[in-house]
């Protein structure tokens, strides 16, 4: 099929992009033609007027972790002088501050702490919901859930059901990085493998939780790894759709935030890591085109900066992410963009030519 015909068919929903076709487009298509096709698909799925955003805070309840991912600047091993677990009072204070600036959601994420058991998580979720009944709690990641299940000796499905009962509204797609074990073995050998990440998400979908998926690029992987990983996300969403579940409501991709010295750490000495503007926008457009069953695509201002994130809104993205009153993970890795006021977020969206729409985790508008 001729390239223009392929892009038109995908944009119009008449053809599903296969991995080899995505690779061909990645190698051969111009950035502008990819952006135009991705934008057509965005307009078909989400209209051409609105860009959504969310006001929230990313609360990292602990930085203690035993998983030692090679790219992680955030975690501290147990017993380290800078290791912490937030107290209930500290958690509540952060949530109060979030609500005071119009926040509606807390993203609760942390390391794999060897001593926090399910009772600690349940107690924390219940206490937050009792004190702040209106706040949405999107909590943990598939690898944290698996870690808690291992600490407890229970299945991830049982643990997720207990956490949901305690007030967890949704499961963010953190820890997905590249869902390809060849890459995971290289950059995070102790972390959850691809099948296990998908299994936790499958269980969350079966339990009716709102979930998202994400991808981090620029570990020195080949383009095929990125698209093979996207195919795993798309296949799981097909399963959710067949079951009538919500599944993944959104997807966001961002580049690794590291200097070239990490090439050596990953066994890729001298190789450029992360992605520049052109590669980010190229892959953002292809993510939109590839993930035909995931409705929303986010632009990543914390890693690319707001100006490039505004550009991404013309490359298939329809959501500007969240204000993130606090962020500790990509900022530990050197990103200079770590939080944004609601006013400035609305301003960036307007300057890109769209109407800003505040939303909740289910992408429903909030007035
Ligand atoms: S990325 Fe997550 S799992 Fe890996 S070391 Fe950091 S905190 Fe631990």
Q: Which domains does the chain have, with CATH numbers?
A: 3-9+17-358 (3.20.20.70)
Percent of the chain whose predicted confidence (pLDDT) is above 70: 92
Vertex 260: Cα angle to 255 and 262 (nearest 5):
85
The model's confidence at residue 270, banded by pLDDT at 50, 70 and 90, is low
Q: Which two tokens stand for residue 269?
A: 């000495």
Question: 226-256 burial by CB neighbour count: b if 16+ within 10 A, else e?
Answer: bbbbbbbbbebbeebeeeebbbbbbbbbbbb
Ligand 1 center to residue 320 CA distance, Å? 25
Can you give the pLDDT at residue 335?
A: 59
Residue 265 structure tokens: 């750490």
For the sheet with 319-322, list strands across it.
56-60, 105-109, 136-139, 170-171, 210-217, 248-255, 296-298, 319-322, 50-54, 355-358
pLDDT over 60 (residue 79): yes
* Best residue among 58, 62, 67, 327 to mutate for probing ligand 1, ranked by most atoms within 8 Å of CB: 67
Q: Which two tokens stand for residue 236?
A: 């799981």
pTM exceeds cut of 0.75: yes
Q: Please state which of the ranges 122-131, 247-256, 257-266, 354-363 shows the lowest mean pLDDT.
A: 257-266
Q: How many residues does the chain have?
A: 367
Give the closest residue (by CA) to ligand 1 atom 7.
111
Each residue's pLDDT tens digit, 198-246 = 999 999 999 999 999 999 999 889 999 999 999 999 999 999 999 999 9
Beta carbons within 8 Å of 307's beta carbon, 6+ residues apart: none
**Residue 111 in contact with ligand 1 by CB distance below 6 A:** yes
Instruction: Name the helix (H) or strand (E) containing 242.
Output: helix 223-243
Ligand 1 closest atom vs CA 110: 7
Please give the span between the terminal C-alpha atoms of the chain, in angstroms, as a whole number. Answer: 46
Inform me whether the pLDDT recorded for 7 exceeds 80: yes
297-312 pLDDT tens trace: 999 998 889 999 999 9
pLDDT band, very low/low/confident/very high, at 260 (cuts 50, 70, 90): very low
Which atom of ligand 1 is found nearest the CA of 111?
Answer: 7
Which residue from 62, 70, 72 has its CB within 8 A of the most atoms of ligand 1, so it is best to mutate? 72
Nearest ligand 1 atom to the CA of 143 is 3
What integer pLDDT is reported at residue 61 of this predicted model?
A: 97
Q: Which atom of ligand 1 is nearest to the CA of 65?
A: 8
- Return the pLDDT at 337: 62
Residue 143 Cβ < 6 Å to ligand 1: yes
**Looking at per-residue confidence, does 168 or 340 come out higher?**
168
Within 13 A of 5's CA, how many CA atoms are on the CB side?
Answer: 2
**b/e sequence 338-347, b meaning 16+ C-beta within 10 Å:** bebebeebbe
How far is ligand 1, taken at its centre, from the CA of residue 268, in Å?
21
| 212 neighbors 172 (Cβ within 8 angstroms) | yes
Identify the band that residue 333 occupies on the pLDDT scale cut at 50, 70 and 90: low
- Exposure string for 22-34, b = 16+ CB within 10 A, e = fewer: bbebbeebeeeeb
Is residue 112 within 6 Å of ligand 1 at its C-beta? yes
Q: Which residue has the tokens 């307007």?
A: 350
Provide the 10 A C-beta neighbour count for residue 75: 22
- The answer to whether the CB of 191 is under 6 A from ligand 1 is yes
Q: How far is the CA of 22 from the centre of ligand 1 (A)?
A: 30
Closest listed residue to residue 308, CA positions, set 283, 328, 333, 341: 283
């Amino acid at each position: 099929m001729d390239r223009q015909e392929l892009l038109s068919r995908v944009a119009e929903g008449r053809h599903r992009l296969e991995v080899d076709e995505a690779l061909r487009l990645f190698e051969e298509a111009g950035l502008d033609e990819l952006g135009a096709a991705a934008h057509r698909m965005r307009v078909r799925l989400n209209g051409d007027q609105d860009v959504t955003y969310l006001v929230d805070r990313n609360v990292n309840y602990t930085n203690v972790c035993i998983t030692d991912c090679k790219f992680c600047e955030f975690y501290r091993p147990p017993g380290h002088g800078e290791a912490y677990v937030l107290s209930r009072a500290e958690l509540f204070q952060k949530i109060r501050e979030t609500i005071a600036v119009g926040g509606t959601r807390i993203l609760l994420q942390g390391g794999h702490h060897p001593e926090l058991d399910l009772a600690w998580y349940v107690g924390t979720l219940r206490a937050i919901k009792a004190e702040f009944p209106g706040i949405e709690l999107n909590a943990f990641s598939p690898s944290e859930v698996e870690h808690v299940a291992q600490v407890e000796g229970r299945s991830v499905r049982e643990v997720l059901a207990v956490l949901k009962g305690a007030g967890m509204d949704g499961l963010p797609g953190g820890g997905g990085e590249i869902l390809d074990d060849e890459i995971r073995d290289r950059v995070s050998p102790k972390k959850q493998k691809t099948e296990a990440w998908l299994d936790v998400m499958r269980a969350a979908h079966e339990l009716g939780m709102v979930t998202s998926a994400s991808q981090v690029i620029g570990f020195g992987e080949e383009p095929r790894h990125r698209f093979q990983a996207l195919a795993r996300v798309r296949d799981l969403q097909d399963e959710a759709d067949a079951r009538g579940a919500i599944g993944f409501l959104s997807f966001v991709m961002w580049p690794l935030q590291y200097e070239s010295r990490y090439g050596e750490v990953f066994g890729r000495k001298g190789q450029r890591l992360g992605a520049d503007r052109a590669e980010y926008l190229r892959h953002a457009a292809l993510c939109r085109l590839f993930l035909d069953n995931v409705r929303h695509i986010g632009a990543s201002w914390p890693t690319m900066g707001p100006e490039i994130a505004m550009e991404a809104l013309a490359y298939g993205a329809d959501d500007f992410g969240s204000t993130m009153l606090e962020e500790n993970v990509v900022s530990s890795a050197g990103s200079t963009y770590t939080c944004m006021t609601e006013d400035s977020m609305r301003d960036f969206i307007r300057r890109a030519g769209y109407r800003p729409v505040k939303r909740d985790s289910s992408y429903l508008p909030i007035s």
